[in-house]
Amino acid sequence: EDQVTQSPEALRLQEGESSSLNCSYTVSGLRGLFWYRQDPGKGPEFLFTLYSAGEEKEKERLKATLTKKESFLHITAPKPEDSATYLCAALNFGNEKLTFGTGTRLTIIP
Amino acid sequence: GAGVSQSPSNKVTEKGKDVELRCDPISGHTALYWYRQSLGQGLEFLIYFQGNSAPDKSGLPSDRFSAERTGGSVSTLTIQRTQQEDSAVYLCASSFGGPPYEQYFGPGTRLTVT
């Protein structure tokens, strides 16, 4: 059975304090690893797709990386508006459903 | 164009009543998905449509849950004889059904069963 585990569950950072969020996955044949951002009361907002180990993608203060067992979402010099829950999800070759982790709730303190 | 839309945004219903939740996918997206998000839980897959067909209904929790899609566009998720454990946010997503496989989500319908 596919599994996705995210850590930490919650993270509080000072504005400007860089850190990383972890996503460990066990999937029978990874087709894609996805990162989403979710604000309270809203649906998940797509951020990145990673397809193979070694791949990296960047968007503003966020960079996502992928290994054969994990993905990291690095946040550099975060701002309060980066506060949200970040979700990781995996898609395998056997079906079309995303398997989600339970998310990391990130709070950036001004 | 517009994103995925869902209606209603909030629904409060009494235990035992039936409810219908609607999803309008992004124009041109052939694949449509329903997920459920409960407090403190991750998103849970319910059902997937390719066109009007549902090749994967494996996530539907019981036979009280059903879904249909018409015209390769709008989808309706129906929950019959609602129970309190059905209270959750129901999220719809759509995609092109092929690479790059990204699913785009709507704002969700918050269902509360009293």
Assign domain B5-95 to a CATH class. mainly beta
3-state helix, strand, coil in chain A (%, to 5): 5, 60, 40
> What pLDDT is attached to residue A96?
84
The superfamily in CATH containing domain A3-93+103-109 is Immunoglobulins (2.60.40.10)
Q: How does pLDDT run across B57-72, given as a tens digit for each residue?
A: 989 999 999 999 999 8
Task: List pLDDT tens digits, range A43-66.
Answer: 999 999 999 999 999 999 999 999
pLDDT of residue B1: 54
**How many angstroms away from the CA of A61 is the closest CA of chain B?**
21
Domain boundaries, chain B: 5-95
What is the distance in angstroms between the Cα of A5 and the nearest Cα belonging to chain B? 10
Q: What is the DSSP string of B57-107?
A: -TT--STTEEEEE-TTS-EEEEE-S--GGG-EEEEEEEE-SSTT---EE--
Residue A78 near chain B (CB below 8 Å): no
In this structure, of A69-78, B50-59, B85-94, the range with the lowest mean pLDDT score is B50-59
Q: What sign results for the dihedral spanned by CA atoms B91, B96, B101, B104?
A: negative
